[in-house]
Copies of this chain bind each other. A is one copy, B any other.
């Protein structure tokens, strides 16, 4: 009541892994030293292991959007025809970046909450011979929907197009088999399943994608992937790296390796399943009914209730920060995150709080019923006969 702990429960920044936060205190070191080179190399090696690839992985001092831009400016040329899948605010970001760089963007737009299907991508490829790239989100954070990256990547395989996947909230929440499926570029960000603050992004880059870099005629300077990849191999960055964040990332990657990257995904998926079950129990609808992802569960506010009242209830009653809808979805949905450092105890509290907030706003629910739905998912996974 009087004490309300600040709890960061958004789909990014996500809750911090405490030992990673504490590791940032060792930032009084210089980046052009052997000590820091070891940290940098460990991060690159461990990123490859966690992403499950032998492809180059290039870190950038940028947020995820910077890495998205880098993939365009480094791997494409003016006027290239590309297919852009737009299922929400982050798909719109692909649209904005590809247009800003003068690509010839064919936009596959679906309604918010829906997903672009493999059939739609196939059809667009057939209608647009010579397509140089397909841009998509693995997880569309703004709607909670998840794309079928395996089928889409495979549908593109026979063409010359490279597959550029924004995995910023997909990594750690859904399988993304880079080499097996043919993901040419996969983009990640530090403040998501990596459990550390914002400021770092990274890209994995396939040999097929690297060939494009040689031909690219778009302007770039700070985001120079070839230069960065060459330096990274030597434990160096082209510009001054964010030392504190690399120290944090090294610690977080050790933790993720100790859990296992697959288990990290399973963790998010179980929490998403539990949240979906709780929503159903409380008479609430998912915003993305057909393809809900495990990064974040987007839930519609009950009829007549502004989702802002739920977001405000979390903050004012319980000190917790959860996400409202973005753009036109603001006021319609609220989003409960699962990616990264979240556990079942978090979800018990999040749903118990939700029940009280709903009641305070006039939506009748039975106290404890949503929590029981979460507990049943835990019990089933843990083999407890509840």
Which A residues lie at the B interface, using CB under 8 A?
Answer: 1-7, 18, 25, 259-260, 263-264, 266-267, 270, 317-320, 341-346, 348-349, 352-353, 355-356, 359-360, 366-372, 374-376, 378-379, 381-382, 384-386
CA distance A376 to B356 in the complex (A): 9
Q: Which residues of B contact A2 (CB under 8 A)?
A: 259-260, 263-264, 266-267
- B356, A345: Cβ atoms closer than 8 Å: no
- B266, A343: Cβ atoms closer than 8 Å: no
- A348, B344: Cβ atoms closer than 8 Å: no
- A15 nearest CB neighbor, chain B only: B5
Q: Name 13 A/B residue pairs within 8 A (Cβ), A-sorted.
A: A1-B381, A2-B260, A3-B342, A4-B343, A5-B341, A5-B346, A318-B343, A349-B349, A352-B374, A360-B384, A366-B372, A367-B368, A367-B371
Contact of A378 among B341, B356, B366, B386 (CB under 8 A): B356
With A344-B318, A348-B348, A349-B346 in contact, is A1–B369 under 8 Å at CB? no
Least distance between A18 CB and chain B CB atoms (Å): 8
Q: Which residues of B contact A379 (CB under 8 A)?
A: 356, 359, 367
Least distance between A339 CB and chain B CB atoms (Å): 11
Least distance between A136 CB and chain B CB atoms (Å): 27
Q: Which residues of B contact A264 (CB under 8 A)?
A: 2-3
Contact of A356 among B3, B6, B369, B384 (CB under 8 A): B384
- Pick the most buried of A1, A5, A266, A381: most chain B CB atoms within 10 A of its CB: A1
- A355 nearest CB neighbor, chain B only: B375
Contact of A375 among B342, B368, B375, B376 (CB under 8 A): B368
Q: Which residues of B contact A375 (CB under 8 A)?
A: 352, 355-356, 367-368
- B368, A1: Cβ atoms closer than 8 Å: no
